[in-house]
Structure 1
Amino acid sequence: AAPYVAAIDAQAPRIVIVDLSADHRFDDAWYYGLPELTRARYAGQRRISNPGCYATAMQLALAPLREHLAGMPVCFGVSGYSGAGTTPSDKNDADKLRDNLMPYQLTGHVHEREASHQLGLPVAFMPHVAAHFRGITLTAHVSLARALADVETLRALYRARYAREPLLHVLDAAPWVSRIAGRHHVDIGGFALGADGRRAVLVVTLDNLLKGAATQALQNLNLALGFAEFEGIPVAVGET
């Protein structure tokens, strides 16, 4: 996207650009548009970088625990093959994916670096591609600096952080990717706590083509153009 942005900058600098590529996600001159976490930083910027799909899931999974962490969080991700793009490869070959789970780039993935950069802490991420078309399941495993009393205390951190976010649904049960396909929101659930209260696990699901891309872009466009943030986005009532 960089050459196109340069051309627009030269000819029409007031045009709003929402860039869905990774080109500007590490550029502090651009607003990083994950509104549920960065809305307060939006101050009329015309250059907006749309987050990556996995990076969105990781940040939403880890942000409520940001001040409670001890050590590096570990995230295990599984995406439908639409996340592999349109260029033919093993990762979007239906025959090779049948009855299969395909790991790739198990260290240093660009979304690992993106989430680490935005959260301000190192995150370990292991991506995989599965045979379904769309949707991400991300399981986050974290060590906590202090023990939590019980799993409800863990869940309450997420309910409190995301209570006013209509696209973020905090569930009791573990979310299923089959239930998120074609939906604009994020499900967060499956909370578990180790016996010592210092090991926490949770699961995030989202549609990589929607909240991981287009829905988030529409939120950002709405903010930039002065519309209500959720204008044009069907907002479902969350389960509990």
Structure 2
Amino acid sequence: MSNINIGIIGAAGYTGGELIRILINHPHVNIAFAHSKSQAGKPVYATHTDLLGDTDLVFSGDDIQELLNKEELNAIFLCSGHGESKKFLEAHSLPETVKVIDLSTDFRPETDGFVYGLPELQRDKIKVATKIANPGCFATSIQLAILPLADAGLIKDAVHVSAVTGSTGAGQALSATTHFTWRNNNMSIYKAFTHQHLTEIKMSISKLQAGFSEAVNFVPYRGDFTRGIMANVYTAFAGSLEEAKVIYKSFYASHPFTHVSDSPIDLKQVVNTNKCLVHLEVHDGQLLVSSIIDNLTKGASGQAVQNMNIAFNLPEDAGLRLKAPAF
């Protein structure tokens, strides 16, 4: 099989760096260019310092349209900030044969021909898509906690979510709430009940449970750790724990990265991997679902590669069998 030629726009940020880490070891991918205006001309390892000795890639700062024209690309990943992807596609022309995988929020409502790229929800549509909108990190963890219930038509009441994310979820640019002296030994709530990922969460539930109109009450937390998301989701449920496990294990039986754990779960089981682990409990008519992912892999770049694999008819787990730190 010949390699897939890919380009990365916004390659100096967290998601761009994570893509490079995965793709330099992918058996079917060649990175044609990694573009960054701010780091143009510098070795990739000067910014992503852990890659010293792993790649001789240099950040390209050339005119992007020239790169798009001269490289025989098969796919392009857009890793710039929210709002930038739409501007990029308006300003540049891409051959129709080039697949676009966007990691921003710009096209998640499935506008402009984009397919929402949550494989556990839309694998068949991703297979034939030319434009894929990668899901948000919180949205991924929360959706994987509740979609089996929606598929069974069993969300009958409001859904309550409490979820915490690591500091890398805020991006690479420093702010008052990502600075070490503020974040360390600290926690805080932000965007309670108004988080931007609510839109895609409700959209996905409605795809499986037509007419869904219940509230999704989401309280996000900033955690004092670097990477990972834990979402704890609960809603009314009339069945037993055994019945819930049957529903969830059946739903995820054909998906290589989402697994139902019979034992309690913790973040170190998934950090640096493309996995989602789900744990179920039933308490007094409430189903509690805990869901954990790495926000930079399954919540961003790993899922983007998973989508690429599906879209190019590659093994879904190619390049993504990554090892958790565990300790």
- TM > 0.5: yes
Q: Distance in 2 between matches of 1:131 and 1:91?
A: 10
Aligned residue in 1 for 2:14:
none
Cα RMSD (Å) of the superposition?
Answer: 1.8
Q: How many residues align?
A: 230
Q: Offset of 1:224 from its aligned partner?
A: 2.1
Aligned residue in 2 for 1:204:
291
Tell me the SS of whatever aligns to 1:42.
Answer: helix
1:109 to 195, 204, 224: 195
Q: Distance in 2 between matches of 1:223 and 1:179?
A: 25
Aligned residue in 1 for 2:307:
220
TM-score by length of 1: 0.89
Whether the aligned pair in 1 keeps the contact of 2:273 and 2:320 (CA below 8 Å) is no
Aligned residue in 2 for 1:175:
265
Whether the aligned pair in 2 keeps the contact of 1:206 and 1:212 (CA below 8 Å) is yes
The 5 Å alignment of 1:1-240 reads: 1-8=85-92, 10-28=93-111, 29-42=113-126, 44-66=128-150, 67-120=153-206, 121=212, 122-144=215-237, 147-148=238-239, 150-189=240-279, 191-195=280-284, 198-234=285-321
What amino acid is the match of 2:154? H
Q: Offset of 1:60 from its aligned partner?
A: 0.7
Whether the aligned pair in 1 keeps the contact of 2:272 and 2:322 (CA below 8 Å) is no
Q: Distance in 1 between matches of 2:158 and 2:317?
A: 34
Following TM superposition, the consecutive aligned residue runs of length 4 or more in structure 1 with deviations greater than 3 angstroms are none
Structure with greater contact order relative to length (CA < 8 Å, sep ≥ 6): 1
Whether the aligned pair in 2 keeps the contact of 1:91 and 1:102 (CA below 8 Å) is no
What percent of counterpart residues are identical? 28
Q: Offset of 1:235 from its aligned partner?
A: 6.5
Q: Distance in 2 between matches of 1:128 and 1:113?
A: 18
Q: Flag the structure with larger Rg.
A: 2
Gaps of 5+ in 1: none
Distance 1:43 1:134, change over 3 A: closer
Q: Offset of 1:74 from its aligned partner?
A: 1.1
